Structure 1
Amino acid sequence: MALSRIWSAFIIVAIVVACIKCFFLDQTEIFSWMVIGKADDPTNLTKVDGVIQTCWNAVEMCLKLIGVLAFFMGLMSIAEKAGGIRLLSKIVGPFFSKLFPEIPKGHPATGHMVMNFSANLLGLDNAATPFGLKAMESLQELNPNKETASNSQIMFLCLHAAGLSLIPVSVIALRASSNASDPTDIFIPCLIVTFVGTLTAMLIVSFKQRINIFQPVILGWVLGISAIIGLLVWYITTLNSKDIASFSGTLSSGVILFIVLVILLGGVYKKIDVFDAFVEGAKGGFETAVKIIPYLVGMLVAISMLRTSGTFDVVILGIKNFFTFFGADTRFVEALPTALIRPLSGGGARGMMVDTMTAYGPDSFASKLSGVFQGAADTTFYVIAVYFGSVSVKNTRYAVGTMLLADLAGVCTAIGLAYLFFG
């Protein structure tokens, strides 16, 4: 119900704003922009798609996703038949049994979630999505009410959407291509922000589900992960920008190849028919990609209408005027377009970040903060539409609110860190 109201609000607000611009500001072209798009948006310097093109883009996105889903879900099928997922579940079982008390001991869902979190941690977007969808499918098997999100699904998806990531590879690459003097200067703020967002999501969901997070097992794992992240931060700070790019690329690609190798070797060792197992799992990837098309079309169209109507411009202008009235430093407002669009559209937020670097320079305060916003969270509404849509969950309960609060905590943390790190 919450998602339904948000989706309706997006479209209604976009149309109302467009009507105001058309009839009061004489911007008669706004309606055609919303339907067919515009090639050159002067406020964004990027092509903005209308409703029709966005529908095509959503279907094209799902078609491209078929291959990735088929490959990785095929590998997951091999891992399950070889017992690898059960082994992974046993390793993290003590921790997950406290955080996900509804999941039976040794259930495959635990292994699927670990694979997803690991892929997210290393910035492996293409691998993280199939693992996450498989995790949602496994959790749906345990869900007594198939149309309502279970506690475990909410906890998993909120932690996933918080986007804890060690190295924001794509942001560093974009800053390097824009000739920033130090493309990696956003690394530590991004890591801290995603960690804060993840802890915020965990705390909120644990409070709602009455989970005691002060249990020794949970505290031990959280502190252990924190220590590992701290060591990685220390190591990264000893490298120059070129070595960081090389390290992150090698780590990300190497992990994917390592996962493929281990799964295949495990299947051969267990003497299962690895190719038949792969094909069986790959079929599920195709079905999942087709199933999420309606959910993705609906969400992306609503987001497109918000962008083309100029709603974001109105919101940002209002925020700037508010802080100006109180005499506060408003430099952070110039980076807010990225933060506002990031939960709605990864590609749109990327365009906003590039636009900020173009307008203010890659070494400006606004550009650096924009980079932190871009690398510090997942695309919340895309995640909601795709992951819940893949298992046909209609009632998301408090999942949307929790994700948005985690995003807000990340935004506030990012602004504070930007003033600390970038002046």
Structure 2
Amino acid sequence: MVLNYIWIAFFLIAFVVALGKLLIAGDTTVFTDIINATFDSAKTGFEISLGLTGVLTLWLGIMKIGEKGGLIQSFARAASPIFSKLFPDLPHNHPVTGSIFMNFSANLLGLDNAATPMGLKAMQQLQELNPKKDTASNSMIMFLCINASGLTIIPITVMMYRAQMGAANPSDIFLPILLATLSSTLVAVFVICLKQKINVFQKSLLLLFGGIILFVGGLGWLFNSLEEDKVSLYSTVFANALLFTIICGFLISGIRKKLNVYDTFIEGAKEGFQTAITIIPYLVAILVGIGVFRASGAMDFLIEGIHLAVAGLGIDTQFVGGLPTIFMKPLSGGGARGMMIDAMQTYGADSFVGRLASIAQGTTDTTFYVVALYFGSVNIRNTRYTVQASLLADLAGAIAAIAVTYIFF
């Protein structure tokens, strides 16, 4: 229901802003820009779905081998002590726990191409357990909000863009991103736990959160001790070597179970193709709404209004230059990436705004895209409080990103 209102608001706000630009500013091209944006965004939505087809086909085929080979169940058993607390509605040692574990692990390593198919597989399994097929279950909401919070330990892509833009030390945003994205994820988990009446002070959960904080701190210390040109290299090598090790492990598990590994892969790959087709309408709908909102100039008016308000209060306005990336991130991953690059081009990769935009880009995921993609794959229409909780986590991540930028730079 909330997503319905937000989607309508994109169009109505865009219309009001565009009408004002036409009548007051005499901008005769604004409605042409909006209509062009609808076509471009619809094309982009289809192209994203088409691009996902190959990735989904590959990874759901691999996941099917791991499922029938018993490796997913092994991951489920390993994750059960923690996941049984965060997802109390899931049956003990159910394979979905392994799929969720794999998705979270891929996200932590910044491996988006692997994380998305694993996440869609988890959503299909969660839907099988869902008694109300058109309404998000508690477990789905917890899973989606953690995904949308964007916890990533190795922000490979952001460091790569900073290097391309001429940053003196592309990895100097590594620790700030870790702290900001951790804040976003912890807020997401706490909000959902409170909403679902899950006791966050259980020993296992406290140990988990404490372990994550210690791990992040230790990893930050380790990477800060490395030479700057080694951080991105080691991160990339480690993440991709681990990913290929997992693929080989899945194949070996299939061989041990005496499966016809090739036929099992084809069986899963067919599911991936069907999933890619299913999500097309959902992606087109959300991307067109966002495209219209951007093309109307509504985002520009919002940023300018905030700048005037902040200046009027006598508060430092440096951070306002990074707000386009922050505001765009929940709406469009590509749009936020463009805003980040533009900020580095305009202000400099090593400027306050350039670093803030980079940190914001690595802090959270694209909430509306994630919600449309994952819920759309299983035809969930009533998302309940997923969007509100995810946006609250985005807000926490944005505040944390601004704060750590001031602290570190």
TM-score category of the 2 structures, normalised to the smaller one: over 0.9
Give the structure 1 partner of residue 11 of structure 2: 11
What is the aligned-residue identity percentage?
49
Distance 1:57 1:91 in 2: 39
Give the structure 2 partner of residue 303 of structure 1: 290
Q: Does 2:244 match 1:240?
A: no
Q: What is the deviation of 1:18?
A: 0.8
- Deviation string for 1:257-280 (max 9, x for gaps)? 111110001110111111111000
Give the structure 2 partner of residue 369 of structure 1: 356
After TM superposition, the structure 1 stretch with the greater mean CA deviation from structure 2, 240-249 or 378-387, is 240-249
Distance 2:296 2:55 in 1: 34
- Name which of 53, 76, 87 aligns with 2:74: 87
Q: What is the deviation of 1:221?
A: 1.9
Unaligned runs of 5+ in 1: 37-49
Q: Pairwise mapping of residues 46-125 of structure 1 onto structure 2 (< 5 A)? A: 50-125=37-112
Question: Which secondary structure state, in structure 2, belongs to the residue aligned with residue 33 of structure 1?
Answer: helix
Distance 2:406 2:38 in 1: 38
After TM superposition, the structure 1 stretch with the greater mean CA deviation from structure 2, 225-234 or 277-286, is 225-234
State the aligned residue count.
409
Distance 1:109 1:220 in 2: 23
Q: Does 2:400 match 1:413?
A: yes
Q: What is the deviation of 1:282?
A: 0.3
Q: What is the deviation of 1:17?
A: 0.7
TM normalised by structure 1 equals 0.96
- Name which of 199, 203, 212 aligns with 1:212: 199
Q: Where do 4+ consecutive residues of structure 1 move more than 3 Å?
A: none
Q: Pairwise mapping of residues 188-207 of structure 1 onto structure 2 (< 5 A)? A: 188-207=175-194
Q: What is the deviation of 1:308?
A: 0.8
Give the structure 2 partner of residue 40 of structure 1: none
Q: What is the deviation of 1:241?
A: 2.0
Distance 1:165 1:135 in 2: 19
- Deviation string for 1:105-152 (max 9, x for gaps)? 011110000000000000000000000001111111111101010000
TM normalised by structure 2 equals 0.99
Unaligned runs of 5+ in 2: none
Q: What is the deviation of 1:225?
A: 2.4
Give the structure 2 partner of residue 386 of structure 1: 373
Q: What is the deviation of 1:226?
A: 2.3
Distance 1:361 1:130 in 2: 36
Distance 2:210 2:192 in 1: 19
Question: Which secondary structure state, in structure 1, belongs to the residue aligned with residue 31 of structure 2?
Answer: helix
Q: Pairwise mapping of residues 2-401 of structure 1 onto structure 2 (< 5 A)? A: 2-36=2-36, 50-401=37-388
Distance 1:229 1:364 in 2: 25
Q: What is the deviation of 1:220?
A: 1.5
Distance 1:237 1:58 in 2: 39
Question: Which secondary structure state, in structure 2, belongs to the residue aligned with residue 94 of structure 1?
Answer: helix
- Deviation string for 1:31-60 (max 9, x for gaps)? 111112xxxxxxxxxxxxx11121111111
Distance 1:228 1:376 in 2: 17
Q: What is the deviation of 1:248?
A: 1.1
Q: What is the deviation of 1:167?
A: 1.6
- Deviation string for 1:219-263 (max 9, x for gaps)? 112222222222211111111221001111101211221111100
Distance 2:226 2:310 in 1: 38
Code of the residue aligned with 1:11 in structure 2: it is F
After TM superposition, the structure 1 stretch with the greater mean CA deviation from structure 2, 197-206 or 241-250, is 241-250
- Deviation string for 1:67-112 (max 9, x for gaps)? 1001100011011111111111111111111110100001111000
After TM superposition, the structure 1 stretch with the greater mean CA deviation from structure 2, 352-361 or 205-214, is 352-361
Distance 1:106 1:7 in 2: 38
Question: Which secondary structure state, in structure 2, belongs to the residue aligned with residue 237 of structure 1?
Answer: helix
RMSD (Å), alpha carbons: 0.8
